[in-house]
Amino acid sequence: MPWFDIIVLAILLISAAVGFFSGATREMVRALSFVLAAVIAVFGLRWTAPIGRSLLEDPPWAGAVVAGLAAFVVVYATLRVTGGAMVRGVHSTHVLGVLDRTIGLGFGLVRALVVLGALLLAFQAATPPDRVPGWMTGAAFYPLTSAAAKALKAFAPKGLDMAGKLAPSIGDAVREGSATDRGDSADAQGYDPRERRRLDDLVEKSR
């Protein structure tokens, strides 16, 4: 069996096993907790960063970083503990427990395919098509991994479009949180970041 097949099979089995033993509910709680904690930590910087800077003044950015990390850890831990009670309730019921673990196995396989597709895309970006080794393209799992990579590539524009829409709001929150005082949140002309962005949009539309 080629090394490519061995590596792919190992990733699929490990991810599927983790998904099965964890269950779909725990996997979803884990993923949602991480995403929500990250969002709350970033958008909460405008309130938590001043507290962090009052405790850690030097260097100026350290207080904001520590405040953001602390908010992330607290929110993530709270959501995981809250979700853990729901997971235990699902696993305590035999029928729901079996269904949850079965769906978790499928979730683990999908996660493995996403990882494999991303790795293959990175490899293809760094390697010319004529330099891809034959033991890789001739492997049994190469078509499956290639299909996962193509699916990720197809969804990438939608993800980038969503990220582009969220970027201004995230940038405003980070800038407001990392300002050392109220005056630092405005630019040299006295506009805050949101007002500055609106003016830039008006200028672009008038061209």
Number of C-alpha atoms within 13 angstroms, CB side, residue 131?
6
Q: Which domain holds residue 109?
A: 3-205
pLDDT digits (tens, 9 = 90+) for 118-160: 999 888 888 888 888 888 889 999 999 999 999 988 877 665 5
- In the numeric block, which tokens belong to residue 14? 């490990």
- In the numeric block, which tokens belong to residue 194? 């949101």
- CA–CA gap between residue 75 and residue 2 (Å, rounded): 44
pLDDT at residue 147, rounded to an integer: 94
pLDDT digits (tens, 9 = 90+) for 70-123: 999 999 999 988 888 888 877 777 777 788 889 999 999 999 999 999 999 888
pLDDT at residue 159, rounded to an integer: 57
- The total number of structural domains that make up the chain: 1
pLDDT digits (tens, 9 = 90+) for 53-65: 888 777 767 778 8
Q: Any idea what DSSP says for residue 185?
A: G
pTM value is 0.61
- CA–CA gap between residue 119 and residue 160 (Å, rounded): 18
- CA–CA gap between residue 167 and residue 179 (Å, rounded): 18
- CA–CA gap between residue 4 and residue 43 (Å, rounded): 42
Q: Which residue has the higher pLDDT, 126 or 174?
A: 126
pLDDT at residue 201, rounded to an integer: 65
**CA quadruple 156, 158, 161, 162: dihedral sign:** negative
pLDDT digits (tens, 9 = 90+) for 22-32: 888 888 888 88
Per-residue confidence band for 181, with pLDDT thresholds at 50, 70 and 90: very low
